[in-house]
Amino acid sequence: MNDVMPDPVDATPEAEAEAPRGGADEPAAAAPLEVVRELTGHPGVDVHLARLDEVDHLPADGHLEVYEDVHRGLRAELTSLDAHPAPRPHDNRS
């Protein structure tokens, strides 16, 4: 039996810097999703949804901020549907 082990691969930072880059380990370049949106007919909702177009031009780490902002805006629109409108001057006639 042979107890001789091969030398370990040099894993120093200098060796890593010299290693070739590319291939399957590299992330793909950003590509727009180009999702077609239809207008909802509700201007407040459509304004928030239009912001989603911005993510096509941002790196992935910038998407979260836009998604969270759109989510907040859409929740506010939904919440406003539950609010009772203020009475008009002539609504309280008897």
pLDDT for res 49: 93
**What six digits make up the tokens of 1?**
């039996």
For residue 41, the model assigns a pLDDT of 92
For residue 24, what pLDDT is reported? 67
Check if the beta carbon of residue 46 is closer than 8 Å to that of residue 39. yes
34 Rama sector, left if φ>0, alpha if ψ -120 to 50, beta otherwise: left
> Residue 46 carries which DSSP code?
H
* Global pTM value: 0.56
Per-run averaged pLDDT (10 residues), the chain, 94 residues: 60 52 64 82 93 87 93 94 74 60
